[in-house]
Structure 1
């Protein structure tokens, strides 16, 4: 599932040259010949309805162009729209630098719809300090690189520290296994007054998304590559174990509440209202619960996925038009590194965010958890310097998430999730649901979905 709050399919908007005169533009060379100006089009500009994000993006563009006078940026609103991508590329309307979700690169690479940047990134600072598993999202099976990750998320466990304390649990020691989740949920539910120990989604494809995350956490998977084709891979012991735990929490322990067929807003509302102990979530859920449902940052904690064997990862990055000239590719990488992959700018960026009363301390942009080594250490130090939320509440997630094996969403994810939604719904609404039959039926349906992948 795509959790980015700025996902907008808005029309392309050409922004003014930001300090470059028309005369200078007419006299420049788009290919950068003889030291002339290179013009590149970029998307990812937030819409005007996202005032804070738009203001910061445009300010970055202006600052970049002031310090890089030989690169001219044409900024376009919008992000990735799979429905129009191929047509834009064929018609010469695709930006030189374009935004992608982590689920996009594999197909774009296979269809030769992105430039190979392997030989260009050798001179780009800090690329070697990015997490290898994030770079791998943009590699082909020969190790060639076609894009750069700029932010990511991993699924984890969001929990209410206040309820943990009231239930006699240590909020600094969140559960590490599903058995511990189950036991903690019992103690939290025992508080009464409508408090729910653990909640999960089962509607609008979100149940399938969370079941996928659960399987990853236990070392399982939803789909596997079998030669040139894909096959469902959840009708097995791991799939049955996940459904058994879910069934027992719902019906034996009564720790999930009687209301089911929940979606993300339902669960966030419960958490914001102090009525929920735990649910699976990415870090970006925390500001949503605080801002939309009247929560408090001090109330919540984040832990890595229970199970400790894997997690679902998602995120975003940028690729370059396969028709781009070498000069445009170099200019594009200069922009991407300066804006998104630049440890030297973290201090100034966070100082600006703090001045604008933005929350700082969660592992989300402007401090995404994408680094290793010295860059990671530097970012964590600066984050602590400007933190406006209690860092210790989210440290278990930061410490644990990077050690888990990351798995992308399965191919044709939304169609797969539709099928798995039905499995989640049956287990959570029917005490006598036959898990083995549910998995067998779902396997057949998912195999049909996966058979369409070419």
Structure 2
């Protein structure tokens, strides 16, 4: 899912990366005055995110002071798949651009990213990034980008509502049957309280349908020789839709308002009238900062069943038209800003001093790092924590194997939205028929994968 853009304000620094997000201009500028390399990058936080913008701009100034031969030109915004090709063809694409985990394979196949294989050695700790995440930005033994942040889906819940409903907040649901029962008890509290909420439009329903299937050990797509085919029209896929239908119509534990998206559900959680929903840890700061929640109210567990959890994330790639000088400058910037263990403590101190969230949990499948760097980061986050870390320990202990999103994910999710919407808005929806229809359409989408 384009979850990184949806969750940007939450601060991915605290979810497992080292920075917030980079910046931008046109990829057509060769160099600046005085022999400087002008490097345009995208991802500068908007001015409405005052703290994140301040941190980012301070980082640009510090980097330029340490690298006087590089002129960073930041712009707001991220990669938009709908306009990407036109920007590249028109010479308007940034030198260094943000990419979701769902994008690199297609960009590489279309030759829309530079081969940086010979240059990643200039990023000091590149080899200590998890191999499976490096592979997201690689193909045929060549490297075309670097991952900078990662997330894994879990079950976010309201500890206070659990207590009121007679549930133990220190023992969150571990199966979907337990989720259903907990949701029923929470909804029974009345006063508009909803036990469980789910997305169903703007591709977000399909995103979460994928997460549900992964939790049961099911898949959305699989390799069949040299092509991809849909793989969810089966008993487990039907189980997902039937379970949601039962919660919505039999239990009445999901509320009458449907066709929800992320912001709707975050607002519901912040209001104190939602029991549970699927989310990554960085939803918590958003709920607190934007929707007036309180950190101590929330808990996080691994996704139910444990058959696998959806992971996603982001990274950066380089304009295929970039000069060798720009590529080298890009490696210096990315290594310094996002992949630099020497800046861990300073970044966490900045967050703590400004009352920003520190201590969000990062299970191994949601961390980009391995070995000593991971251990170092975990220890520092514990040292500077500004939230009740114990509320999220279940997530760290029980998060399952991480599974990457399917190919052409956004188009796949758009199809799957329809099935999610149907079972949540139509009492008579037929999960079997919905799956058959969705699989036929998803196969058409997957046929386009190169």
Taking structure 2 as the reference length, what is the TM-score of the superposition? 0.87
Correspondence list, 1:18-417, <5 A: 26-28=33-35, 37-140=36-139, 142-363=140-361, 369-401=367-399, 403-411=400-408, 413-417=409-413
After superposition, give the CA deviation of every residue in 1:326-354 in whole Å (9 maximum; x if it has no partner). Answer: 44322211110110111111111111122
**Cα RMSD (Å):** 2.5
Q: Larger C-alpha radius of gyration, 1 or 2? A: 1
Distance 2:185 2:24 in 1: 52
| Shift, 1:123, TM fit | 4.3
Partner SS state of residue 143, structure 2: coil
Does structure 2 retain, via aligned residues, the 8 Å contact 1:222–1:410? no
Gapped regions of structure 1 (runs ≥ 5): 15-23, 29-36
Q: For the structure 1 residues 265 and 58, does the alpha-carbon distance in structure 2 shift closer, same or farther, using more than 3 Å as the test?
A: closer
Distance 1:56 1:307 in 2: 39
Does structure 2 retain, via aligned residues, the 8 Å contact 1:139–1:145? yes
Does structure 2 retain, via aligned residues, the 8 Å contact 1:184–1:197? yes
Q: For the structure 1 residues 421 and 125, does the alpha-carbon distance in structure 2 shift closer, same or farther, using more than 3 Å as the test?
A: same
Q: For the structure 1 residues 346 and 234, does the alpha-carbon distance in structure 2 shift closer, same or farther, using more than 3 Å as the test?
A: same
Q: For the structure 1 residues 186 and 47, does the alpha-carbon distance in structure 2 shift closer, same or farther, using more than 3 Å as the test?
A: closer
Does structure 2 retain, via aligned residues, the 8 Å contact 1:286–1:297? yes
Distance 2:46 2:267 in 1: 27
Determine whether 1:439 maps to 2:439: no
Distance 1:370 1:395 in 2: 19
Distance 1:430 1:96 in 2: 48
Taking structure 1 as the reference length, what is the TM-score of the superposition? 0.86
Does structure 2 retain, via aligned residues, the 8 Å contact 1:114–1:322? yes
Query: Which structure exhibits the higher relative contact order, with contacts defined as CA atoms closer than 8 Å and separated by 6 or more residues?
Result: 2
Determine whether 1:428 maps to 2:427: no
**Alignment match, 2:16:** none
| Shift, 1:409, TM fit | 4.2
Q: For the structure 1 residues 183 and 346, does the alpha-carbon distance in structure 2 shift closer, same or farther, using more than 3 Å as the test?
A: same
Partner SS state of residue 74, structure 1: strand
Does structure 2 retain, via aligned residues, the 8 Å contact 1:216–1:407? no
After superposition, give the CA deviation of every residue in 1:46-72 in whole Å (9 maximum; x if it has no partner). Answer: 233433222211111111122222333
Distance 2:207 2:297 in 1: 26
Distance 2:291 2:344 in 1: 30
Distance 2:327 2:202 in 1: 39
Gapped regions of structure 2 (runs ≥ 5): 10-22
Partner SS state of residue 233, structure 2: coil
Q: Give the number of aligned pairs.
A: 428
- Give 4+ residue runs of structure 1 displaced > 4 Å after superposition: 11-14
Does structure 2 retain, via aligned residues, the 8 Å contact 1:310–1:407? no
